[in-house]
Structure 1
Amino acid sequence: MTDKTAMLPESFLFLLEQEEKRRQLREDAGLPALTILIDAAHSGGGQARHIRRFLLGLYNASHWPFELNRLRALDAELQQAALQVLALDWNGREVHTYVPGGDELFQSWWEWEASA
């Protein structure tokens, strides 16, 4: 324990530890889910466009607002993956930063969807 944490009340330290556990759980579930969505976004299937729009909504919500009805167009596995990625987004880190070359990938989707 550092000098700073020694001065914090035990209950506060407990809350910090609990939040760190929740953050780690979101990451443990969210990273594989993000991979599932990225693969599906490249698939060219009917669900791919909805997934790209969902991910672009996380990337830049003001430019790419996401219509929740689009989730109904996804199969159950992809719906669950989308919810896990949404939870991952709560960790305070931009979703595209979890992926090597994520900014370029999301920008390519941006251009693709903007021209559609």
Structure 2
Amino acid sequence: MSDKKKYFHVIANNEPREAFDKGACAIRRIMSAAGSGHEHADYLRLFILSLYDSGFWPCDLDHLRLLEPEYQLAVLQVLALDFAYPGSIRLYLEDHEELLHRWWNEENRRRRRYGTMTWSIPRL
């Protein structure tokens, strides 16, 4: 079974311990890459912001499709964690509130610059 299918299986069969272990590692990996000079850091920041407040920062699947397979899998692991332990991601993110506020402000500046609330990253 491929890794992606395995995490859909975890969600469907409610295997929360595995989801917690893998998701906790994945959120740390995503946060690290989102704060670095990684080529897809913008996409990862937007994903993190959507976990924090999806009403204000809707997640664009086109952005996630452009990620490297390792980060696509990490996104699935984080979502599996969020489904298995509702609210756990938000608690984790609240421990990084200062960083989230900085990203929030940076992305808001981009939104204002492009004149839209649903700013889109230019296609590659």
Q: Taking structure 2 as the reference length, what is the TM-score of the superposition?
A: 0.70
Deviations 1:29-53 (A, max 9, x none): 1000001101110112320000000
Alignment partners' CA distance in 2, 1:26 and 1:103: 24
Alignment partners' CA distance in 2, 1:100 and 1:62: 17
CA RMSD of aligned residues (A): 1.8
Deviations 1:39-92 (A, max 9, x none): 110112320000000111111011000110111211010110011011111111
Equivalent residue pairs, number: 97
The amino acid across from 1:110 in the alignment is W
> Which residue of 84, 91, 97 maps to 1:97?
91
What SS class does the counterpart of residue 38 from structure 1 fall into? helix
Equivalent pair of 2:82/2:89 in contact (CA under 8 Å): yes
The amino acid across from 1:60 in the alignment is D
> Which residue of 42, 58, 68 maps to 2:61?
68
Alignment partners' CA distance in 1, 2:66 and 2:35: 16
> Which residue of 89, 107, 118 maps to 1:113?
107
Segments of 4+ moved more than 6 angstroms: none
Q: Taking structure 1 as the reference length, what is the TM-score of the superposition?
A: 0.75
Alignment partners' CA distance in 1, 2:59 and 2:69: 18
Give structure 2 stretches of 5+ with no counterpart. Answer: 1-12, 111-124
Looking at CA atoms only, which structure, 1 or 2, has the larger radius of gyration? 1
1:38 aligns with 2:31: yes
Counterpart in 2 of 1:87? 80
- Give the % identical residues: 36
What SS class does the counterpart of residue 37 from structure 2 fall into? coil
CA shift at 1:99, angstroms? 5.2
Counterpart in 2 of 1:10? none
